[in-house]
Amino acid sequence: MKVLSKLMLVALVVAASITAQAQNLYVGSYNIRNQNNGDVKAGNGWQQRMPVLCGQILFEHPDIFGAQEVLESQRQDMLKQLTDYDCIGLGRDDGKHGGEYSNIFYDRNKVKILDHGDFWLSETPDKPGLGWDAACIRICSWGYFQLKGTSLKFYYFNLHMDHVGTVARREGAKLVVQRIKEIAKGKPVILTGDFNVDQTNEIYTIFTQSGVLDDSFEKAKLRFAENGTFNSWDPELKTDSRIDHVFVSPCFTVERYGVLTNSYWAEGQQQGEALKGIDAPQEISFKKYQKRLPSDHYPVFVRLRK
């Protein structure tokens, strides 16, 4: 009987350990930069950088992530590359496919969608329209999800706040907090996006002092964030400003937080002849290429535990 009791105890401990491990979430936020001809002329065209950007996402393979500045053609390109993922979210301009999306991509093998919706950051949040002093129509997309094989259910909100309108950002932030409280009703929440304000801005505090959201950067046990989140297409620029945020409910433990500054070497942009490196084996030859970035924002990836 003692042996049986010990075996049962071990089984219970193992089961509890597996359950706890299974309730880990890997989430992210990525402003992928809209597809436009100006970027093509500058050497940062979508078709050039898309395989790198999607390869980076596939390597990290978050369970769920929010993307910003996504046009319909880019959404289709990403879904073709990210074969494990589905996405939700409407085009901001017309509530269909017009304008940029703030899509939420989720791995259908790991995450089940239970409900979803969208609202606009304006005085009329249930239909498309400019809000306050905004330069662009802005949308927030949300979904209610369950981590498969567990009891963990959570809400995920994703947005892109205006880059010009201070009033629009302030009032939009208040609206988002209000809608989170109304929709989630105390259940676990993750809010990602390009907020166009950094951690020193008063609008940032609307979220962090809401009582329902914490900044995952501040809560993280381990951080790898050697730069801020906006790069202006220049890999040599350095800033402490984080304008892309991952806010989470206080119930989440933030295990790891990272701003990933990966770059790539653009094919066809070789500069000069083959070179030999300093103290390098003679079998190795180098060629100088121009260094490029997958987007003008660096992605943020965060490991959570509930």
pLDDT in tens, 55-81: 999 999 999 999 999 999 999 999 999
d(CA 139, CA 131): 10
Query: Domains plus CATH for the chain?
Result: 23-305 (3.60.10.10)
pLDDT in tens, 127-186: 999 999 999 999 999 999 999 999 999 999 999 999 999 999 999 999 999 999 999 999
User: In this predicted structure, what is the pLDDT of residue 284?
Assistant: 86
Percent of the chain with pLDDT over 90: 85
Give residue 198's identity as a one-letter amino acid code: D
Could you tell me the pLDDT band of residue 277, with boundaries at 50, 70 and 90? confident
CA 212 to chain centroid, in Å, comes to 19
pLDDT in tens, 111-138: 999 999 999 999 999 999 999 999 999 9
Tokens 């790539």 sit on residue: 264
Tell me the two tokens of residue 133: 């002093």
d(CA 115, CA 111): 12
> What is the mean pLDDT of the segment spanning 36-43?
97
Residue 280 CB contacts under 8 Å (≥ 6 apart), including other chains: 286
Q: Strand (E) positions, the chain? A: 24-31, 64-68, 85-88, 104-107, 111-120, 139-147, 153-160, 189-194, 214-215, 222-224, 244-248, 253-259, 264-275, 286-292, 300-305
Predicted TM-score (pTM) of the model is 0.92
